[in-house]
Amino acid sequence: MKTNRRKFISQSATALAGLTILPTTSFSQFAASDTINLGVIGANGMGWADIKSSLRNENVNCIAICDVDRSVPDRRKKEYSESRSNSVQLYRDYRKLLDNKDIDAVVIGTPDHWHCKIMVDALEAGKHVYVEKPLANSVEECYIMENAAKKYNKVVQVGQWQRSGTHYQHAIEIVRSGDLGKIRTVKVWAYQGWMKPIAVKPDSPPPVGVDYKMWLGPAPDRPFNPNRFHFNFRWYWDYAGGLMTDWGVHEIDIALYAMNVNAPLSVTASGGKFAYPDDASETPDTLQAVFQYDGFTMLWEHATGIDGGNYGRTEGIAFIGNNGTLVLNRQGFEIIPEEETRDGKRMFKMPDIADQPRQGNYLDLHTRNFVEAIRKNDPSYAKCPPSSGSTAAINAHMGNIAYRTGKKIYWDNERHEFKNDVEATSMITAKYHNGWQLPKV
């Protein structure tokens, strides 16, 4: 709430303290003194960030690094050797890494179009999995990954690390408490001022040391272009879904989890390449999507190149209720109460609840939760299992499908397809190329 109304209530502090403590119990697979050996597949970006975070836990080592760009494993091995002395094997083909029986769990940090195939193969090989968000690059793959996790009963953590954030957990409790009153609308957004136009570049030979054919994998075959490689793959439909699936899954995950829903009744979207119409990216730089659920709507919006998001925040979630609005982002949350007149006095419609700032490194809490789940040999202990990652990714993909078809689409949650819409339903399927086959579970 407003600055002059901030006061931390002892009960809230006690509850939050409980959220930050990971309980100690007996482990059925790994004792606390046993070493968990990790391998990473895709180590150029978040995959390596996840490894570094995991290594902050006791008795965790990285023993294998795989990347199709030969310079990446070499660089990461050197970096790793500066703080650890155990031997590390380097790979360019993830399947050979999965053959290493000494690896207990893998971190998947590849582009989105590879997530499904590698995760299913890793589970089949008996590995636990930490897979980066979004869970997959299609709705169909999300369901496959959910089913694979159930079949193999290994720990799977999706990299939507906001789930492990203490102030997010507290905000979810408030939303579910009813203090905000009936929630009619949830706004989710990402305004990313750091994203500038991507200059058009010609196709070229792949860099020396890059196995480009392996990088493409199940994606359509096309000439190498530096704009589609490494970080910028996010802005091309072959490999990802733009800001909707990149940032959207983080915010949508918290929004839908707090509201206890998993699928919309309908979705409509509008946007385009309005800010940078001539740059090299394919996905929209400006997008608004409206999701209709039973009893409320969710509004997603994103914009690149500017930071002027809702409530003065570049990213966030706003739960808009009859009694007040809870505004939540990575820096913390605040509550904006509604007022009413009672007995001639202006009063707030809801209890006084203190604002809360971010507390600590949430990625570290998320990877710690993954390690603890492995030690317990308990997939249900993971904060963000595939069922959660799937909900966020599927809803985000629906927003993109509504945008790409240009019409309002209606979802049949029992049949897992759109109602009376062949075009939209065709876009939920995964199309594999270059001899790669969609996993069957």
Question: Tens digits of per-residue pLDDT, 173-224?
Answer: 999 999 999 999 999 999 999 999 999 999 999 999 999 999 999 999 999 9
- What's the sign of the alpha-carbon dihedral 422, 423, 427, 430? positive
Percentage of residues of the chain with pLDDT beyond 70: 93
Contact partners, residue 40, CB within 8 Å, separation at least 6? 47, 48, 50, 51, 62, 64, 65, 66, 76, 106, 107, 109
For residue 298, which of 160, 174, 398, 425 has the smallest C-alpha distance?
398
Label residue 344 left, alpha or beta by phi (over 0 means left) and psi (-120 to 50 means alpha). Answer: left
Q: Is the pLDDT of residue 310 over 70?
A: yes
Contact 385, 157 (CB under 8 A): yes
d(CA 240, CA 232): 10
Contact partners, residue 430, CB within 8 Å, separation at least 6? 116, 136, 137, 138, 140, 141, 218, 438
d(CA 65, CA 90): 5
What is the token pair recorded at 332? 């913390």
The residue with tokens 């949650």 is 413
Question: Tens digits of per-residue pLDDT, 388-420?
Answer: 999 999 999 999 999 999 999 999 999 999 999
Give CA torsion, residues 71, 75, 78, 81, to 10 deg.
Answer: -120
Question: Tens digits of per-residue pLDDT, 142-186?
Answer: 999 999 999 999 999 999 999 999 999 999 999 999 999 999 999
pLDDT at 29: 66
pLDDT averaged over the chain?
Answer: 93
What are the DSSP calls for 204-231, one per residue? Answer: -PPPTTB-HHHHHTTSPP----GGGSGG
Label residue 86 left, alpha or beta by phi (over 0 means left) and psi (-120 to 50 means alpha). Answer: beta
Q: Is the pLDDT of residue 282 over 50?
A: yes
What is the arithmetic mean of pLDDT over 268-293?
98
d(CA 7, CA 13): 11
| Full set of structural domains in the chain with CATH | 19-162 (3.40.50.720), 166-359+386-426 (3.30.360.10)
pLDDT at 9: 27
Question: Tens digits of per-residue pLDDT, 53-83?
Answer: 999 999 999 999 999 999 999 999 999 999 9
What is the per-residue burial (b if ≥16 Cβ within 10 Å, else e) of 277-289? eebbbebbbbbbb
Question: Tens digits of per-residue pLDDT, 2-36?
Answer: 333 322 222 333 333 333 333 333 334 677 779 99
N-to-C CA span, the chain: 49
pLDDT at 340: 87
pLDDT at 342: 84
pLDDT bin (cut points 50, 70, 90) of residue 99 is very high
Least confident of 24-28, 39-43, 315-319: 24-28
Question: Tens digits of per-residue pLDDT, 330-365?
Answer: 999 999 999 988 888 888 999 999 999 999 999 999
Q: Is the pTM of this model over 0.95?
A: no
d(CA 244, CA 395): 10
